[in-house]
Copies of this chain bind each other. A is one copy, B any other.
Amino acid sequence: MRDRTSSVARAGRSPAAASLDLVCCSAEHRRLVVAVDVAARGPASIPWQALDPSVGLDAAAARLARERLGRAPAWIAALGAFGDQRKHPSQAALSVGYVAVVPMGTAAPVGMVWADVTDLPALPARQAAMVTAAVSALRDRMDLVPIAFRLLPSEFTLSELQEMYELLLGRRLHKASFRRALQGAYLVEPTDSWRSEGRGRPAQLFRYAPRRRRGHRRSVRFELLT
């Protein structure tokens, strides 16, 4: 009985001091999507609960994800604190956001739908800001953390992997260069399986299996935008 309703509407007490919100991302039809709750009466929202001060933030977020998704996310990370936008279903002045990722093909839990991040339903302002921040976080961290791999099933073709990178980067990549870089990074290993999907030559399936490689330190990059 530790769900949203019981925490917030617990009689006439004042609303919780803070909320914990989850932006759960996945991919579908070559689109980045986010889990949106449409079952409840009232407007759409992303999963949230009142923040329980007696539980650690990371643990609470992991549990919220498990409860609302029906499975442990493939990846989860803190997004930050949000309070500059006033509107939030909890009425709390402060919200703590987390991003999670589940593999593409995961069915949306009952009462929820996968919404294209470029075409979201109307969300409370603070939650909309969290979704924007989550997408940026995925893009920013994708080459430090294996986010693209978490968005794929455990076995995948190199073309699928490249498509996922293209989706996250928002631009096309060159096939040969992509594979050369991937080879040099020792991140995947081939399986014995092949997948033939309609036309064309069948593709070999790979799995994510990073090997320790010598610490090739990257050079200074002046990518300053402003």
Contacts and interface: CB of A to CB of B under 8 A. Distances in A.
Contacts of A219: 177, 181
A121 interface: no
A80 B79 contact: yes
What is the interface of chain A mostly: helix, strand, loop, or mixed? loop
Contacts of A78: 80-81
A24 B223 CA distance: 24
Contacts of A58: 84
B169 A220 contact: yes
A18 B220 CA distance: 38
A177 B219 CA distance: 9
Contacts of A200: none
Interface of A: 17-18, 51, 53-54, 56-59, 78-84, 93-94, 96, 143-146, 165, 169, 171, 173, 177-178, 181-182, 184-185, 187, 210, 217-226
